[in-house]
Structure 1
Amino acid sequence: MNAPPDQLGPATFRHDLVLHSSAEELAAVAVPFLRAGLEAGDSAVITINDPAAAMLRDALGDDERVHVVPRHEVYRARTPTAITAVRRLVERETARGRTQLRVVGETDFGRTPREWLEWQRYEAVVNEAMRSWPSWGLCAFNVEELPPELVECGLRTHTHLVSAGGRRPNPHFTEPADYLRALPVPDEPLEATEPLLQVVDAKDFAGLRHAVGARLTQLQGSRDALEDLHLAIDEMSANAVRHGGPPVQLRLWASADRVVCRISDGGSGMDDPFAGYGPAHGDDLSHGGMGLWLARQLCDHVDVVDGRDGLSVRLTTLLR
């Protein structure tokens, strides 16, 4: 049996999962979930695809506290911006005097396993990133449409399961840090080819920046994407010099569809699987700590490899 809202403790983040195979099955769970929130003084956001979104909105009637938000406005191209988008929604509604925000969401995992990985990470990271935010998420996973790997992700990253029979602890839930560490870092075939640029012991940061820029300007593709990548490489190179240990190495590869850069250092590494999903020092940006956070927003894929020989950050940008 579900506990009444006032018996669930302080209004902090809850991350629930509903597995369904149709819009009707989802509505049977999501409508009571949202109605209970409205009765408790919460507001609601629906960010799922039609026809389920329309079904939920119609069932809840004309209530100004219910907002339908297009999926692409929440689940944006880069995962840190999705976290920021949800936080802004919570801030907006709590500023209006709401107790918390209830969200029925449907993650857009993308089309390829490489895209899936970023959102698999997101589903785990959000448990930590939203921990102190007064919100309650009900994530909808369609078992008829999602591949088994992503259904498994849902089971590993949500603390509770919800069905028409009620809400219960999820026995498959894995601590987010453990789940993130267990996710594989995919191979990048370009790294087995001759790099466009290789620096084995970077000491001249200005010279390194110029050398990278010269190679990037020779490539075909979106100028904006390449400029974003250049900024991300600058940030990661500066981090390696400032926080890592020598030697700082950089290798750059390119193909017709993507550019890959790996920055490595010989320091003691960084055992923080949540790094880069928000500024290291919170909203006070004057203390720095934004490098990896910016890189995750500027590049399509960011992989952090903490090995015995130091830390490597691999940046990938698609040449759209």
Structure 2
Amino acid sequence: MRAGAARGYAGHFHEAGFYGCDAEFLRLTVPFVEEGLAAGEAVIIGYDDRKSDLLRSRLADPSAVEFITDRGLYATPARAIATYRQLFEFYIAMGVEQIRIAGDVPHPGNGRQFEGWDRYESAVNCVWQDFPVWGRCLYDVTTVSPAVLDVVERTHPHLLTSPECRCTSERFEEPAEFAPLPPPPDPLEAGAPLVELVDRSPAEARRALIEIGRGRVGDKTLNELVHGVSEAAGNAVYHGEPPVTVRIWATSNRIVASVHDCGPGPADPLAGLVPATRDALLPGWGLWFIHQLDIDTTLIRSGDGFTVRMRAEAPATESSVMRG
């Protein structure tokens, strides 16, 4: 039996709330956690070290909560979806009747970019419907931008007005209707690319990227980027419309690569966030595979076609060693 506001609800009960100070954050989070634990439910917390330590200091038994402070949890939207899904499957197998989660997705207010996370907040309304999950997403109104707040209202069916009161979001959009934020261009894209390949093979794109990228971002990162560009180029050839254009920009420690075709792109609003099929041998896994890599990937739809943009940067210590 599910407890709390999600009692009698099937699937993912997804709500958002807002706070302006630590005291408000605790008022919205501590009862949510304590009530879940008292009901024998699993509780997963995905905040940074500071907020997690703040919660630990106020909880009766913090050891009963699964804290995930590893920034890798929110490395990419697709990986966060997959990681949480594995946790849900584990707890369901253990006989847990409801899982409560609370976390902080990346956005400029917490020092990271929001690109792609608007799609994540929309997608979890359907991709987690197989699980009895109660997700509470809290946003700090002192740091979050109006654009992010707009997305929150459009991606959460329920909005908290106080710790115990909620309302239906009148602006909520179903995932199939959700319009993600237009991704801003990368500054490097304003200049001429170092390489532009039109209707060339994925193998030629790989060779060009390896030649340009060597010594800029580190071997592991470059290898991830090469895999991503190769997969995106192959997808564009087989599923897109010609011409297929691969462009590569680079600085001493950054690489931006885009694969563009003149087709409309995948119709599925979840493309890249979850596998398109259950069988990895069937078509439809390419974009999801790219989103599992340790690179920044953005899907861009425009009037002239569909683009997969991939970006990689050397860590500060690594780039300084390479330049030295």
TM-score range, shorter chain: 0.7 to 0.9
Equivalent positions of 1:1-320 (< 5 A) are 7-10=7-10, 12-49=11-48, 52-54=51-53, 56-57=55-56, 59-62=58-61, 65-70=64-69, 72-75=71-74, 77-109=75-107, 115-162=113-160, 163-179=162-178, 181-202=179-200, 204-217=201-214, 219-282=215-278, 284-298=279-293, 300-320=295-315
1:170-192 Cα deviation digits (max 9, x unpaired): 2232333443x341121233223
Q: Aligned partner of 1:286: which letter?
A: L
1:134-173 Cα deviation digits (max 9, x unpaired): 2111112121233333333322221112223412212232
CA 1:194–1:107 in structure 2 vs 1: closer, same or farther (change >3 Å)? Answer: closer
Normalization by structure 2: what TM-score? 0.84
Identity %: 33
Aligned mates of 1:308, 1:25 — CA distance in 2: 44
CA 1:243–1:113 in structure 2 vs 1: closer, same or farther (change >3 Å)? Answer: farther
CA contact (8 A) 1:18 1:26 kept: no
Aligned mates of 1:112, 1:56 — CA distance in 2: 18
Paired residue total: 312
1:114-151 Cα deviation digits (max 9, x unpaired): 81223233222222332322211111212123333333
Stretch deviating more after TM superposition (236-245 or 113-122)? 113-122
1:18-51 Cα deviation digits (max 9, x unpaired): 2112232222232332344334442112222466
Aligned mates of 2:82, 2:72 — CA distance in 1: 11
CA 1:186–1:165 in structure 2 vs 1: closer, same or farther (change >3 Å)? Answer: same
1:268 CA drift (Å): 4.9
CA 1:33–1:227 in structure 2 vs 1: closer, same or farther (change >3 Å)? Answer: same
CA 1:268–1:70 in structure 2 vs 1: closer, same or farther (change >3 Å)? Answer: closer
CA 1:72–1:114 in structure 2 vs 1: closer, same or farther (change >3 Å)? Answer: closer
Structure 2 residue matching 1:242: 3-state secondary structure: helix
1:245 CA drift (Å): 2.6
Structure 2 residue matching 1:123: 3-state secondary structure: helix
Stretch deviating more after TM superposition (307-316 or 138-147)? 307-316
Normalization by structure 1: what TM-score? 0.85
Aligned mates of 2:62, 2:303 — CA distance in 1: 56
Q: Aligned partner of 2:73: which letter?
A: V
Aligned mates of 2:27, 2:99 — CA distance in 1: 20
1:236 CA drift (Å): 0.4
